[in-house]
Amino acid sequence: MSEIEFEIDGKLVTANPGDSIISIADREGIDVPRFCYHKKLSVAANCRMCLVDIEGSPKAQPACSTPVANGMKIHTRNDKAKSAQKAVMEFLLINHPLDCPICDQGGECELQDVAMEYGTDVSKFNLGKRIVADKGIGALIQTDMTRCIHCTRCVRFGAEVAGIVEMGGTGRGEDVKIEPFLTEGIQSELSGNMIDVCPVGALTSKPFRYEARTWQMSAVETIARHDLVGSNIYTQTYRGKVKRVVARDNELVNETWISDRDRFSYEGLNHESRALHPKIKKNNKWQEASWEAALDFAVNGLKKNAQNANQLGVLASKNSTLEEYYLMQKLARSFGSENIDYRLDKADLSIRNKMLSSITLAEMESVDHALIVNSYLRLEQPMINHRIRKATLNGASVNTINNKKFDFNYRTDLEVLCSPQKTLLMLQSILKSLHNKTKTTAPKNLSKIKIDDSQNKIADDLIAAEKPVIILGEHVNSNISSSDITDVISEIAALANAKIANLSLSGNSLSAEKVGFKPSIKGQNAASMLSENTKAFLLMDIDLNYDFINSKLATDTFNKDNVFVVSLNSFEDEAALINLDVLLPMAGLYESSGTHINFDGVAQSFSASVKGPGDSKPGWKIIKVLADLLELKGFDYTDSSQVADDALSIAVSEDNEPIEKNIKDSDDSQIAIHWQYSPYAIDGVTRRAKALQETQIGKMNDAFISVATAKELQLTEGDLYHGVPVSINETIAEGCVFVHTYQSRKG
């Protein structure tokens, strides 16, 4: 397609046919005022603020909806254009309230900025301003719809990006209102982006309301660390506290959006359960101690209980930083122990269970078919799900194999219900079907495998696609056959020429994999440490009730009289005080520098936005001092960047393989239980963020059971299953219970 030439403000430029005037103006650095236009949304052309003068046209034309043409001469700043823009500004201000001094948008308001240049202190219209009654849209977004200028950005965002049509315009003329359709409020996991796209103060952050003025805050570039994406964000701080989190543009990572989990989790940093001072347990009683006394007590306890190096176990959550993982494993190995693991939520710890992804984030949106296996992708990885949704809008098809039917925000062609016990068999059937259709020889172990229509359909769709991807989700973690599942997925992908997205490696687990935060052949994995003769534990950022697949086994182990437990954590709760011996307060999210390796394998480093409260210290510093007190060599670091350089330079040996000892859930029945936390309960910070917990997603609390399974378990609607209310319906496969909850694993 040949380019065309035209003039804009006297400058000769080129563009592709069909490009809009406003996009070219932005490219050339020419400022055209706008309200309804947004680069990531469809063109509405309803605010008319972007009117420009085109020679030969009797009236000014909207720059957002007018395509450029060869030989066109455009004026954005001449008298005709400015007169039209000022007239539109006057109309927009007829009903807009003069409440800038109390509006949270004040200081960063697009309407305010544009009015400074195009507004006037005198208007031809002296009618009374209308007042619009607000409808609450949930715990995250504060509405002041009298300020609304009907740009419909929020409406289009919901329909086009979030994939859930929750806002719309009602009424005509003077009575037009933008409001939610449902009384329950906005339910999208991306809803907070409506705040960012709103050009006025109609939609603002409810947790941030009246907390600080924009110009009083400092912005720090950093990384969100709740999922594999590592969305780029700004933390906005005031008087040593994070007051707000907003998106930072990065097309290759998060584009211009962030999930609500990333936006509002900062509230958890100010929770009453923050660990503020070092504590030690003497004679079964807790007491505050100085850092020197607490570290000495910790070191002496570790040495006393782990007289044999193999008696020391080192465990960390999947949300630690690269630097913390590196120093923790280095401490353990320098001490002589190979008992190292972060895979606390995995049932299958086989040496074969290490499949990596073969697709990038950017490639996700160009696939033409996706097979989603064992994943509620929309809530597990919202920003990756957004990429798949974009692919479906471009014509991609989606099939799913899950324990339960989930509410995806795009059309799925085939949804197969399959219990955890039968997932492997289902995938083997698909593999056999692929062998049949590609006329390749199937392995002998598939000879007795039967194939049904759904498996043939899945195989057909994979073969027919030019760019297929198989997405393996977090639900595979609780499957005792997950290593076999990943093996079969690899074979399916090879036959279908499909890419793989392994999302079971969640959080910052790619950093853990990078530095070898797993046991060698000589070491104990997470399951073995809890079951064998481990006498001393060093824990980092672990919540005893949430992070382990078998919380009871973990707490029973840590609570033994002959077991000594040191924990680095940002929070303290009842479980910690019962089961630990030393609590070292660690700086939390946004309070320490570090590095997060995202889905693409990109190491994204960040600085601390604020200082941790009380006596809390960055995790990497605590580990370094512990290593020094243990008289271990090689810990001469002065800042986290030195640690990161060392961590990124190492190559993990191929013989760094864990022993095969798996952990089973505490439920010994033939009925499989799949326990999935609400996306707002995945780590210590999110589950303490008040606003997130008050959302519909945060309140998820159901144990889904089919009619047949409920009968077998002798349960009825409303009964409690592991403390979670039972919901009996046919959206769940037989032979399993799907627990979607914010509650901890208490039996």
Secondary structure (DSSP) of 74-94:
EESSSHHHHHHHHHHHHHHTS
Burial 497-511 (b: 16+ CB within 10 A, else e): ebbbbbbbbbbbbbb
Least confident of 41-45, 439-443, 604-608: 439-443
Q: Mapping DSSP to helix (H, G, I), strand (E, B) and coil, where does residue 628 land?
A: helix
- State the pLDDT at residue 668: 41
User: Which amino acid is located at 171 in the chain?
Assistant: G
Query: In 3D, which of 677, 691, 619, 686 has the Cα closest to residue 268?
Result: 686
8 Å CB contact between 217 and 327: no
Q: What is the mean pLDDT of residues 333-350?
A: 91
- State the pLDDT at residue 658: 46
8 Å CB contact between 311 and 489: no
Q: What is the mean pLDDT of residues 421-435?
A: 95
pLDDT digits (tens, 9 = 90+) for 539-548: 999 999 999 9
Q: 3-class secondary structure for 144-205?
A: CHHHCCCCCHHHHHHHHHHCCCCEEEECCHHHCEEEECCCCCCCCCCCCHHHHHCCCCCEEE
The number of angstroms, rounded, from the C-alpha of 625 to the middle of its chain's C-alpha atoms is: 32
Q: How confident is the model at residue 656 (pLDDT cuts 50, 70, 90)?
A: very low
Q: What is the mean pLDDT of residues 504-515?
A: 90
pLDDT digits (tens, 9 = 90+) for 131-149: 888 888 899 999 999 999 9
- State the pLDDT at residue 171: 85
Average pLDDT over the chain, rounded to an integer: 91
Statement: residue 636 has pLDDT above 90: yes
8 Å CB contact between 45 and 66: no
Q: What is the mean pLDDT of residues 338-357?
A: 83
- The strand pairing partners of 278, in sequence order, are none
Q: How confident is the model at residue 653 (pLDDT cuts 50, 70, 90)?
A: low
pLDDT digits (tens, 9 = 90+) for 559-612: 998 999 999 999 998 888 889 999 999 999 999 999 999 999 999 999 999 999
User: Which amino acid is located at 199 in the chain?
Assistant: P
Q: For residue 624, count other CB atoms closer than 10 A to its CB.
A: 22
Q: Mapping DSSP to helix (H, G, I), strand (E, B) and coil, where does residue 699 land?
A: coil
d(Cα 739, Cα 674) in Å, to the nearest integer?
6
Q: How confident is the model at residue 642 (pLDDT cuts 50, 70, 90)?
A: very high
In the block, residue with structure tokens 């449902």: 182
Q: Mapping DSSP to helix (H, G, I), strand (E, B) and coil, where does residue 715 land?
A: coil
The bridge status of strand 241-247 relative to strand 232-238 is antiparallel
In the block, residue with structure tokens 């499989």: 672
Least confident of 375-384, 540-549, 667-676: 667-676
In the block, residue with structure tokens 């016990």: 421
C-alpha torsion 77→79→81→87, nearest 10 = 120
The proportion of the chain whose per-residue pLDDT surpasses 70, expressed as a percent, equals 97
- State the pLDDT at residue 655: 52
d(Cα 599, Cα 357) in Å, to the nearest integer?
8
Q: How confident is the model at residue 351 (pLDDT cuts 50, 70, 90)?
A: low
Q: How confident is the model at residue 349 (pLDDT cuts 50, 70, 90)?
A: confident
Statement: residue 83 has pLDDT above 50: yes
d(Cα 315, Cα 518) in Å, to the nearest integer?
9
Burial 381-397 (b: 16+ CB within 10 A, else e): bbbbbbbbbbbbeeebb
- State the pLDDT at residue 326: 97
- The strand pairing partners of 250, in sequence order, are 255
User: Which amino acid is located at 9 in the chain?
Assistant: D
Query: In 3D, which of 605, 613, 566 has the Cα closest to residue 587?
Result: 613
- State the pLDDT at residue 529: 93
Statement: residue 657 has pLDDT above 90: no
8 Å CB contact between 459 and 521: no
Q: How confident is the model at residue 666 (pLDDT cuts 50, 70, 90)?
A: very low
Q: How confident is the model at residue 223 (pLDDT cuts 50, 70, 90)?
A: very high
Q: What is the mean pLDDT of residues 32-36?
A: 95
- State the pLDDT at residue 169: 87
Burial 111-143 (b: 16+ CB within 10 A, else e): bbebbeebeeeeeeeeeeeeebeeeebbbbbbb
Compute the residue count for the chain: 747
- State the pLDDT at residue 135: 82
Least confident of 473-482, 484-493, 629-638: 473-482
Phi/psi of residue 214, nearest 5 degrees: -55, -45
Statement: residue 269 has pLDDT above 50: yes
DSSP-H helix ranges across 93-160: 110-118, 153-157
User: Which amino acid is located at 503 in the chain?
Assistant: L
- State the pLDDT at residue 532: 79
Statement: residue 65 has pLDDT above 60: yes
Cα of first residue to Cα of last residue in the chain, in angstroms, is 65
Q: Mapping DSSP to helix (H, G, I), strand (E, B) and coil, where does residue 282 land?
A: strand
- State the pLDDT at residue 419: 92
pLDDT digits (tens, 9 = 90+) for 514-524: 999 999 888 99
Q: What is the mean pLDDT of residues 292-301?
A: 97
- State the pLDDT at residue 667: 43
Statement: residue 660 has pLDDT above 70: no
Distances (CA, A) of 90 to 124, 126, 481: 8, 11, 66
Q: How confident is the model at residue 1 (pLDDT cuts 50, 70, 90)?
A: low
Q: What is the mean pLDDT of residues 369-377?
A: 96
Helices and strands counted in the chain (H then E): 22, 31
Q: What is the mean pLDDT of residues 286-297?
A: 96
The bridge status of strand 51-54 relative to strand 73-75 is antiparallel
Task: Among 199-203, 478-482, 546-550, name the most confident range.
Answer: 199-203
